[in-house]
Structure 1
């Protein structure tokens, strides 16, 4: 299946921007730049990053990311497990659904003892001098055909950002009191494609577990040591469900660990409430606990000592 960084969701297009959410976005403990100076490929972009509130769906979108970074959310005091997760929000490659698929995910996993890094990866630009709802246009291959990124494949740059993020978390694991062999990726929609891209890559940037939520796309056949996967989508989201079913089948046939949830309804993004997708983060947390990633580091050390 080849659904790439296109606006596969109606809600990624930005409507009115005057109203504001009831609460400010959760503040990260740190924001970590992934590159010193201008990232390779972003020369001449001259974009102003912004986060707006879409009144049509009641969600915040971050746009015009030119300097990718990680928003670090520390695990709750006394609960650190040594596990780290990179969270890649979706948004069709033109927005980041920053709260719904980013900071709220980070908060829940941090409460469970996970060190969480929300990835702000590079996006196809929106005009910054108007309230136009659409990003600059791309051709059928995903190449931008107008605006400051003309001629570029921004999706490839987003993949590079994800690889750099994984390398950063692994190389700085001790700083965050994490195990470099317990680093997972959770991706939503376009962010799920990022997660699948990392799984198909070299070992140094391959996650130890991954969860493409309504975003299983662009995945390669699983290797013999492919990491465990958690999948979730709604039955009334054809793209999300079909991709999730295909990846689950591939992992199951390869005898690799896989868990799949297809909820009766929810649409793309689980914006239709009441179909089970409302609680997908609880199901994700249960899966992580079942596989030992929410077991505290001190408990693991005691178990090893007893063995």
Structure 2
């Protein structure tokens, strides 16, 4: 596309095999790949990026055409137009969108748990009207959270939350700390915020909501690896209804992914033993799924 492109922050993990480009989730950074990338390097050239408005990358208009153009710029700069895009959450959606736009050079795409909130009919056993009501509530909460700055003295509290999460999920604390420190920016009023900035965060959430992901998967003419988390995220005591919602959605995702794989022999579904935070919880399982896909499902791509 023409127009504004942003020079993204890149971490080059090295390696000299077929190239992979690692894309993180919404509100996250390339630090999420710190434990996975070294497991991929023996067989692949591995780059990770901070998406626009995240981590150390500058902010800018947030829509899929601009974000995809940023990704293309990185691939052009490093001379790897045929890199395999590998994404988690939002990054997984971007990986599939990139593959749809460049099927002539992109050998496939990896989407790890990037399914957003789906459609109401994907929540097995729940009334679609009730699901839509709850999803509207979730979206309002997400929008409010994106606009809420951190108090100027709140970094200590934020890191304490990460330490609690480390204990709860068994994630090494240093991985969580690195992600927070890479994300935090100081506002002109002295308060802190986690990227992207509120206006761009709302645009990002709207862009995600606009996708019909299973329609998108069926449009992509190259092999896909679709990973799904097997474990639910920890319960939130004040939101018991969310557990029911997520359990119903997990059933719908399992059903729809199995149907898609039945229709498309070039679609591989991998069930990962972890929550949505799988990159940090179980990097070996994530890396193994990616390596199996690159060696078995993409002709001529493996080293």
How does the TM-score come out when normalised to structure 2? 0.50
Higher helix fraction (1 or 2): 2
Q: Which has the higher contact order (CA 8 A, sep 6+)?
A: 2
